[in-house]
Amino acid sequence: MAQTRVNAVIIGAGAGGGVVAKELATAGLSVVVLERGKWYSAADLPSRNV
């Protein structure tokens, strides 16, 4: 199994995690975001706004 070194690991891409990951990546850091939960595809989403 290959190993990859990163500068930051964000646990959860909720309201704060996604923003922090984006800011760190924009600053040039290597970032990994770990998320748990069901995977939704485009077919699972409504086709129009309600």
* Residue pLDDT tens, the chain, 50 long: 899 999 999 998 888 999 999 999 999 999 999 998 888 888 888 877 65
> Is there a domain that residue 22 lies in?
yes
> Is there a domain that residue 50 lies in?
no
> How many domains, the chain?
1
> Is there a domain that residue 12 lies in?
yes
What is the pLDDT, as a whole number, of residue 47? 79
* Two structure tokens written together for 21: 């990951």
Nearest to residue 17, comparing CAs of 3, 37, 43? 37
Global confidence as pTM:
0.67
The range of the structural domain enclosing residue 6 comes to 1-36
> Is there a domain that residue 47 lies in?
no
**Which long-range CB contacts under 8 A does 2-7 form with residues at least 24 apart?**
5/30, 6/30, 6/31, 6/32, 7/31
